Amino acid sequence: MKTIVSLLCGLLIASLTYAKPVRVGVAGMTHDHINLVFDYMKHPDDVEIIGFAEPNKELAMRLLKRHNLPESLWFASLDELIQKTKPEAVCAFNSIYQHLEVVKACAPKGVHVIVEKPLAVSVDHLNQMRALQKKYGIHLLTNFETTWYPSHAKVWDMVKTEQSLGTLRKVVIMDGHRGPVEIGCSRDFTGWLTDPVQNGGGALIDFGCYGANIMTWLMDGQRPTSVMAVTQQLKPAIYPKVDDEATIVLTYPTCQAIIQASWNWPFDRKDTEVYGTKGTLVANRESKMKYVSGERFGKETWLDLQPLPHARANVFAYLAAVVRGEIKPDKDLSSFPVNEVVVEILSAARESAKTGKVVHL
C-alpha cells in the first residue's frame, strides 16, 4: 500500500512539474501579429506571458488597456524585462531589422527566441544571429501562420512518407492579400512594413518568405541552385518605397518552385500547389484538401484533414514543447536550419530583381 501511495505521489508531482507553463516575454508591440499573444492570454495553457518590452509607452499602454491587461506588464526595454522577470523564451513582435537586437539581448542570457517571419532582414544579420545561436546554444525559431495548417502536415506525409505523389516536380505557392494599408493594418505596423530598411522590402519579403519556407522544408533544407525574381510597384502612390508585387522562381536539380507574393490579390491567399509525377495536392487553411491523381485528365478527390497534435497545433504550444526538450526542431518549418536558407533565398531574390539577373547559390 505504501508503495502504491508513493508511486501515485510521484506521478502527481511529475504531472505538476510537466504542466508548469514556460515563462515567455514579448519583445516589441508594433507588429499586428501581437494579437496572437492577446488572443492566447484569454486561454493560457502552455506558456505564461510575463511581460511586454516596448520603448513606445503610448503604444504599449494603448494595447494593454484595450485588452484589459495591467500596466505592470510593460517594460521600457528588453534588458529590463529579462532582468526583472527571468523569461525562458522571448517572442519578437517588432520589425524584421530589430530581430537581431532581440537575439543579441537574449542569447548571452540563455533565453530562447522565436521571431515572426522572416528570420532576418539580410544575410549580414543572419550571420550575426547564427554566431550567437551557435555560441550560446539557444533555440532560434521563426513563426509562420502556415506552419499550423493541417494541410501542410498532410502534404509532408503524402510526399515524404507515403510517396503517393511520386517524384516532386513543381511547387506553386501563392501568398498575400490586397495590401497592408487596404486591409487596415495599424500605422505602427505599416510604418516599418513598408520601409525597405526595417522590413528589407515589400511583398517580396512579407509574403515571399512563406514560399521560401515551405519549399526549403519540402527539400529537406536543400538550397536552390538558382533564384530569379521580378518585382513591381503597381501602387506607387500607396507604397512608394517598396515593391507590392513579386514573383520568385527557384530551381533545384529535380524540380522547380514558383512563389507568387502580392499585395494585389483581390482576397487573402495562402495556397500551396504541389505537383508530383503521380498526382497533385492543393493545400491551404481549410479542413479539406484537394488531391488529383496522376491520370491524364486527373481524378479529383477531397481529403478530410485531421487536427494536428497539440504540440504542433499553434506557435505557443510548439514553443513550450521545444523549450522543454519535447520537440527537437531539426528541419521543422520553424527551425533555424530551414529559415537561414529562407533568408538566403530572399536576399538572392532581392538581388535578382534589382539586377535583372539569375542568382546562383
pLDDT digits (tens, 9 = 90+) for 112-153: 999 999 999 999 999 999 999 999 999 999 999 999 999 999
User: What's the CATH code of the domain at 188?
Assistant: 3.30.360.10
Length of the chain: 361
Whether 86 is covered by a domain: the verdict is yes
Buried b (16+ CB within 10 A) or exposed e, 254-286: ebbbbbbbbbebeeebbbbbbbbeebbbbbbee
Number of domains into which the chain is organized: 2
Whether 322 is covered by a domain: the verdict is no
Mean pLDDT of the chain: 94
Domain that holds residue 135: 2-145
In a shared domain, residues 10 and 118: yes
Q: By C-alpha distance, which of 131, 132, 80 is closest to 104? A: 132
**What is the Cα–Cα distance from 276 to 323, expressed in whole angstroms?**
36
Average pLDDT in the 219-239 region?
98
Contact 151, 127 (CB under 8 A): no
Average pLDDT in the 90-106 region?
98
Whether 318 is covered by a domain: the verdict is no
In a shared domain, residues 237 and 150: yes
In a shared domain, residues 155 and 292: yes
Average pLDDT in the 255-268 region?
98
Q: Which residue has the cell 537586437?
A: 101
In a shared domain, residues 141 and 161: no
Query: Residue 296: what pLDDT?
Result: 76
pLDDT tens by residue, 158-196: 999 999 999 999 999 999 999 999 999 999 999 999 999
| pLDDT tops 60 at residue 302 | yes
In a shared domain, residues 129 and 167: no
Single residue among 79, 112, 145 that ends a domain in this structure: 145
Residues 6+ apart with CB under 8 A from 177: 183, 263, 265, 267, 268, 269
Query: Residue 8: what pLDDT?
Result: 46
In a shared domain, residues 151 and 137: no
pLDDT tens by residue, 315-333: 999 999 999 999 999 999 9
